Amino acid sequence: MQIIRSVAELTQYVAARKNQHQTIGFVPTMGALHEGHLSLVERAVGENECSIVSVFVNPTQFNNPDDLRTYPRTEEADIELLAKAGVSAVFVPSVGEMYPEEVEVKKDFNLGSAAEVMEGKFRPGHFQGVAQVVNRLFELVRPNRAYFGQKDFQQIAVIRNMVESEGIDVEIIDCPIKRADDGLALSSRNALLSADQRRRAPEIYAALSDSVEYSKSHSVRATHDSVVERLDAIPEMKVEYFEIVDARTLLPIEEWDESPDVQGCITVFNGKVRLIDNICYRPF
């Protein structure tokens, strides 16, 4: 596996692959890799002649400086995992390499209304930062396919909007959420949980899963409240938002028959650690 740290080297590497008419599969990450990332990597490796993974903690998508400061960084272990997974190249740029002063890196994307709700409301500027780094990475890596995890359900919708509005020729592939045996959605942030917080964290998925059954005989409002009340009753847990939305527009619904595809998206503070998850309500 080639370890690439500069834009110049990456550009050269990609040009050589394109000259050989290889397909490029790309997995952008912020490192602290876990099984969830590796499931995306496995698909990128299996479905493309060349697979590239980026490891870059992107400062422009953090609206909270503490969150950026404490974000787990495990570069050496990440590189080892990627080499074992058979990745062709890993791109590990510095902030200066990604956002050099002399280059005006595009920002301010048309991300549609999907970027205004939920994470968009609670993390102002977050999705513009995600769009900025993903757009820059797409320009450099020029992938045929890019792989994203469904844990970040809203992020995928926003990236699809960015790709469409920028006219980028790439297939966005969404991959199922990977969970620990106890149901907790795998996330780099799980590493920040204390032992007690980690023990309680699977309640998030338990509440979501139970609510799918509950939703069959209860209103949207009652289903919503059952999840929030259950989680808020747990020590150290506080739901930041839970929205039951149309899976395409991400706008909240009030009746189950308003949309054929309904998703519940949740963000919960477990102590100071902000965890997200989501579940499909319809179709069954």
**Is position 58 an interface residue for ligand PAF (rule: CB under 6 A)?**
yes
**Is position 184 an interface residue for ligand PAF (rule: CB under 6 A)?**
no
Q: Which of 42, 78, 119, 152 binds ligand PAF (CB under 6 A)?
A: 152
Asked whether the beta carbons of 142 and 14 are under 8 A apart, the reply is: yes
Q: Minimum CB separation from ligand PAF for residue 69, in Å?
A: 16
The dihedral over CA atoms of 169, 248, 185, 69, expressed in degrees to the nearest 10, equals 70
- Piece in contact with ligand PAF (CB under 6 A), picked from 80-88, 130-138, 172-180, 222-230: 130-138
Task: Give 26: exposed, middle or buried? Use CB within 10 Å, 0-12, 13-18, 19+.
Answer: buried
**Is position 134 an interface residue for ligand PAF (rule: CB under 6 A)?**
yes
**Is position 29 an interface residue for ligand PAF (rule: CB under 6 A)?**
yes
H-assigned helices in 119-202: 119-122, 126-141, 153-166, 195-200
Q: How many residues bind ligand PAF (CB under 6 A)?
A: 10
DSSP 86: T
Catalytic residue among 37, 126, 218, 224: 37
CA-based angle 279:280:281, to the nearest 5? Answer: 115
Q: Which of 28, 36, 120, 143 binds ligand PAF (CB under 6 A)?
A: 28
Asked whether the beta carbons of 142 and 21 are under 8 A apart, the reply is: no
CA-based angle 117:123:126, to the nearest 5? Answer: 95
Strand order in the sheet with 262-270: 237-246, 262-270, 273-282
**CB-nearer residue toward ligand PAF: 21 or 69:** 69
- Piece in contact with ligand PAF (CB under 6 A), picked from 25-33, 45-53, 64-72, 85-93: 25-33
**CB-nearer residue toward ligand PAF: 123 or 230:** 123
**126 labelled catalytic:** no
Neighbours of 99 (CB within 10 A): 18
Contacts of 15 by beta carbon, 8 Å cutoff, 6+ apart = none
**Is position 267 an interface residue for ligand PAF (rule: CB under 6 A)?**
no
**CB-nearer residue toward ligand PAF: 148 or 205:** 148
**Is position 223 an interface residue for ligand PAF (rule: CB under 6 A)?**
no
Q: Which of 52, 81, 89, 130 binds ligand PAF (CB under 6 A)?
A: 130
Residues that bind ligand PAF (CB under 6 A): 28-30, 58, 61, 130, 133-134, 152, 155
The residues annotated as belonging to the active site are: 37
